Structure 1
Amino acid sequence: MSTAPSIRAYRSEHDRRAPPRSPRRDSAARSGVALVLFLVIAYGVAAFGSLSTIDNVDGWYAGAEKVAWNPPNVLFGPVWTVLYALMSIAAWLVWRRRELPGAKAALGWYVAQLALNAIWTPVFFGAYPLIGGAALWIASGIIVALDVAVVITMLRFARIRPVAAWLLAPYLVWILYATTLSFGLAVLNG
């Protein structure tokens, strides 16, 4: 009889320290709807960005001096299509564990980086005809903030669902590359 309280005390202490388990409360339908919403939001950001690129890619950007490592324009669409899908899946995986400590903050960082992603394109492409080279420098500042926000998002996602952080790795690589393009264009055309 003397061992029973100590076992209960150990279990109680162990339960307080152990991270909460992720209950599977979400129905398959609700989870599927959530994934679709994450995809719709990400592709909505893409559509918003494309509004400012449509006229400007063949306009001022076509005649702008570019760095030697600038890819052909045809590459951007397919790359971003894949990246937005990976980003959405990563966020959805974290959302599915939203009851874990830190999950809501991680999703907050995801939203913050998505907002920075959404404003970079209109500033870079759309503001250039209005304010010239200053737009390229402002956009370069925004993309550096985006780089930082994505790193923080990845670190936060890794605590909740490591695979979600890894799904953002290609996105981070691409935006770091895009950062060099942005600064290159600012230097050459600003």
Structure 2
Amino acid sequence: MSKSLKIAIAVIVCLAVGYGAGMATQSSIETWYPTLIKPIFNPPNWLFAPVWTLLYVMMGVSAGLVWSKMEVVPLLVKKALWVFTIQLILNALWSFLFFGMCNPFLAFIEILLLWLMILETIKLFKPIDALASKLLIPYLLWVSFATLLNGSIWWLNR
């Protein structure tokens, strides 16, 4: 399988996970979420979809680049992609906890774990493909901001 095909498949998988997570937010975004007290730095709702779409594409390209090195360093790639998969599952789970269950506290605990798994993914990707590692930095930064936002929403609404 070519590098381009692996990247395309990984991008599609990441976008599908993002789409599924987005579906979990739909009902609460119009009912429960507007009732919450939010910090002054809360971005407008319209910003989240384009940012996440870009991040999912970058995540997919990153994973595809690492996957394309399977023949070169199979054990490192398998471990790195396993950790990537775990963080991707945690990424989707956050939407279900925060919006689906309307539970900012549980989502806050989970996003801390997600942040650590993203950091671990970056560390594991770096020796395999430096660009793949760098492509995940905006994701880590956005999840850092999301962690602060999530924690603030929980604190303001406890």
1:136 aligns with 2:99: no
1:176 deviates by 0.4
Q: Which residue of 1 aligns with 2:10?
A: 38
**Counterpart code for 2:77:** A
**Counterpart code for 1:53:** T
Cα distance per residue 1:107-127 (max 9 Å; x no partner): 111101001001000110010
1:121 aligns with 2:95: yes
1:82 deviates by 0.6
Q: What is the root-mean-square deviation of aligned Cα atoms in Å?
A: 1.1
Q: Which residue of 1 aligns with 2:65?
A: 93
Which of residues 82, 103, 116 in structure 2 aligns to 1:108?
A: 82
Cα distance between partner residues in 1 of 2:47 and 2:24:
18
Q: Which has the larger radius of gyration?
A: 1
Q: Which residue of 2 aligns with 1:55?
A: 27
Unmatched segments (≥5 aa) in structure 1: 1-25, 129-134
1:104 deviates by 1.0
1:84 aligns with 2:56: yes
Question: Which structure 1 residue ranges, 4+ long, deviate > 4 Å from structure 2?
Answer: none
Cα distance between partner residues in 2 of 1:47 and 1:162:
28
SS in 1 for 2:126: helix
Q: Which residue of 2 aligns with 1:72?
A: 44
CA contact (8 A) 2:21 2:96 kept: yes
Normalised by the length of structure 2, the TM-score is 0.94
Larger RCO (CA within 8 A; separation ≥ 6): 2
CA contact (8 A) 2:3 2:65 kept: no
1:181 aligns with 2:144: no
Identity, in percent, stands at 34
Cα distance per residue 1:47-85 (max 9 Å; x no partner): 111122111111110121001111000100110011001
Cα distance between partner residues in 1 of 2:126 and 2:3:
20
Q: Which residue of 2 aligns with 1:11?
A: none
Cα distance per residue 1:129-177 (max 9 Å; x no partner): xxxxxx2111001100000000000000001001111000000000000
Q: Which residue of 2 aligns with 1:18?
A: none
1:189 deviates by 1.4
How many aligned residue pairs are there? Answer: 156
